[in-house]
Amino acid sequence: MNVLIDYTLHLADNSLILAQRNSEWCGHGPALEQDIAITNISLDLIGQARFFYQYSATLIGNEATEDSLAYLRTEREYRNCLLVEQPNGDWAQTILRQFFFSQYQFLLFQHLQDSNDEQIAAISVKTLKEVSYHLRWSSEWVIRLGDGTDESHKRIMKAIDELWMYTGEMFQPASYELQAAEERIGTDVSSLKEPWTNSVNDIFQRATLTLPPDRNGKFFQTGGKDGKHTEHLGYILSDLQYMQRTYPGNEW
């Protein structure tokens, strides 16, 4: 049971933290259409998080709720990948972060549709449609920025330099991911690395970008899945959890 709880919290935390990051663009997007798009993606991710938190709460019992899991845990209790908590930076960095993670989610949920756990399978089927849009939208922007002006190309290249070191963690399974895969609740995330890399490379080629050199996992930053985060998560949670901690009992 603990494995299933840890696994569903990991999936929920990834979506919630990225949603919180993306929502910082609301009212600040480069154009109205894209402002609305990134905000809608945030709402989709919050919806994903809610599904998994609700399921986690039923597994935990003891009056746990989606609100207590989202708003009343500390940094070390969050299991999200380091990638999703990284700062927005400029528009190029936000786009690339979304693209990297959406490509990963797309492959992950394709596998989780066949999970032995009916709830995880059902949530995956429902969210895969949303993730497909997130991937298409972010892919188009990566191409637009990479194959655009000198300035846009320079910015997306800088974003690659900033974010690539956090991508390897997605494919290095935590202990609960390994056990979930063994029980066919989850999937072996290490098997997703090759198709992820191939898909990213395809978009990069169309964007006149190149993948960073393969260093066999060296220099990748890890720890988020086990609760060891960058300083950025604390600032995210201070905003995310402020209302609930100040006015206890609020509900989504």
Place of tokens 């090759």: 194
Structure-token pair, residue 137: 């939208």
User: What pLDDT is stored for residue 109 in this prediction?
Assistant: 98
Work out the mean pLDDT of the chain and round it to a whole number.
93
User: 2-246 sits in which CATH class?
Assistant: mainly alpha
Q: Among 206, 207, 210, which residue's Cα sits nearest to residue 145?
A: 207
Q: Which helix (H) or strand (E) holds 141?
A: helix 118-146
What is the distance between the alpha carbons of residues 235 and 216, in angstroms, rounded to a whole number? 32
- What is the distance, to the nearest Å, from the Cα of residue 45 to the centroid of all Cα atoms in its chain? 8
Q: State the pLDDT at residue 172.
A: 96
State the pLDDT confidence band at 241, using cuts at 50, 70 and 90.
Answer: confident
What pLDDT is stored for residue 140 in this prediction? 97
Of 187, 191, 11, 59, the closest CA to residue 116 belongs to: 187
Look up residue 187 and give its two tokens.
């999937």
Residue 217 has pLDDT above 70, yes or no: no
